[in-house]
Amino acid sequence: MKIKILLASVVSFAAMTSMSHAEKWDMALAYAATNFHSEMAAEFAKEVAEKTNGALEITTHPSGALFGGAEIFGAVRKGLVPMGERLISALGNEDPIYEIDSIPFLATSYADAMKLYKASKPALEKTLAAARTTLLYSCPWPPQGFYSIKEANVPDDVKGLKFRAYNPTTSKIAEFLGMAPTKIEAAELSQAFATGVAESMISSGSTGYDRKLWEHVGYYYDVKAWLPRNMVIVNTKAWDGLDDSVKAVVKEAAATAEAKCWAKSEELDSWYVEQFTEKGMKVAPASPEMQKAFEEAGVKLRDEWLERAGDAGAAVLKAYEGM
Ligand code: PCA
């Protein structure tokens, strides 16, 4: 009897202490609250709060409100914020594995993008671990197309255009085509096009839609060049500090968010592009000349990537090609 009472009080004490340790985490997001990536992050946060009975409450901060896109990875790594979402390939200068999803024309469908994710995930997780961060989930943007303020039928048409880049790969493609790249976060896009700082870019219909680019840009070429992914990461020290039961809930919610987000991205892909036509943009596939120029840039970039990524990179590509 005594033991039972003692046990009961130990249990309620444990419950109390775990309650007093209820964690409140911020999650830094770069993209608009209405973007599907941000909506999934909000659903993920809600599921975690519900299933942990409030032991972990995550508040999402979209549109770069807490940290701008370019700062999120560093902020999570340093523990300035426990959790955040970042466009993986924007980190390409830190390690080539971060930009495997943006090698042009390597994986251009959702099925191939998933294969590439699976083939590269162990290497990605290892690289993230060395940066004291842990991967929770990763979700693709729709296939990438080319936006231009002027009609782009042949490579000469785009020469000299100011190009908005979001990662090293897009900067290099722009240079290859004689455009002038500048790195600009999605949150600043409308302004960049409105003021003429940007005149062209490669991105998905999703980002053009979020930023109402039809107000400034007349042409969208549906190149389907690659599907870059975002990743949701957590500072490893913060992660290690969670109870195992909370970790299990977070992992499960992350797996759910990942599956839903991939499906949502694919579902919205053509819808975004349809909206452009409705808003009066000219939507077309790339002309054969432009397609050829993009593909030539792609071959160069792939070779260059393999050189930088060495044996480890070659092994990942081989695993992907064998899937
Ligand atoms: N949208 C993001 C990255 C890729 C995409 O489709 C952006 O343009 O910033």
Architecture of domain 23-142+228-271: 3-Layer(aba) Sandwich (3.40)
What is the residue with the minimal CA distance to atom 8 of ligand 1? 203
d(CA 31, CA 207): 9
Do the domains 23-142+228-271 and 145-226+281-321 sit in the same CATH topology, yes or no? yes
The C-alpha torsion from 124 through 126 and 127 to 131, rounded to 10°, is: 130
1 by Cβ neighbours in 10 Å (0-12 / 13-18 / 19+) ranks as exposed
Report the nearest atom of ligand 1 relative to the CA of 142: 6
The pTM for the full model equals 0.93
Q: What is the layout of strands, in order, in the sheet containing 56-61?
A: 56-61, 23-28, 83-87, 229-235, 133-140
Kindly list the domain boundaries of the chain, sorted by start residue. Answer: 23-142+228-271, 145-226+281-321
Q: What is the pLDDT of residue 29?
A: 98
Helix (H, G, I), strand (E, B) or coil at 319: helix
Q: What is the mean pLDDT of each run of 10 residues along the chain (323 residues)?
A: 46 46 94 98 98 98 97 98 98 98 98 98 98 98 98 98 98 98 96 98 98 98 98 98 98 98 98 98 98 98 97 97 96
Q: Is the CB of residue 87 below 6 angstroms from any atom belonging to ligand 1?
A: yes
Parallel, antiparallel, or unpaired for β 219-221 and 282-284?
parallel
CATH number for the domain whose boundaries are 145-226+281-321: 3.40.190.170
Query: Distance between terminal CA atoms of the chain?
Result: 61
**pLDDT score recorded for residue 235:** 98
C-alpha torsion angle, residues 309, 177, 115, 264 (rounded to 10): 130
**118 CA distance to ligand 1 middle (Å):** 21
Cα–Cα distance for residue pair 30/50, rounded to 1 Å:
25
* Residues pairing with 86 in the sheet: 231
Nearest CA to ligand 1 atom 7: 186
Rounded to the nearest whole angstrom, what is the distance from the C-alpha of residue 141 to the centroid of ligand 1? 7
219 neighbors 282 (Cβ within 8 angstroms): yes
Residue 17 has a pLDDT of: 46
* Mutational test site, ligand 1, from 35, 166, 202, 206, max ligand atoms within 8 Å of CB: 166
Per the CB < 8 A criterion, the answer to whether 290 and 153 are in contact is yes
Q: Give the model's pLDDT for residue 21.
A: 72
Measured in angstroms, how far is the CA atom of residue 116 from the centroid of ligand 1?
A: 18
Q: Is-contact 56 242, C-beta < 8 A?
A: yes
Query: What is the distance of C-alpha 80 from the center of its chain?
Result: 20
For ligand 1, is residue 141 a contact (CB within 6 Å)?
Answer: yes
Q: Which residues, other chains included, contact 85 with Cβ-Cβ below 8 Å and sequence gap of 6+?
A: 27, 28, 29, 30, 31, 37, 38, 41, 72, 230, 231, 232, 233
Angle ∠(278,281,285) on CA atoms, nearest 5? 105
Query: What type of residue is 52?
Result: T
Reduced to 3 states (helix: H, G, I; strand: E, B; else coil), residue 160 is coil
In 3-state terms the chain splits into helix, strand, coil percentages (rounded to 5) of 55, 15, 25
Structure tokens at 291: 């397609």
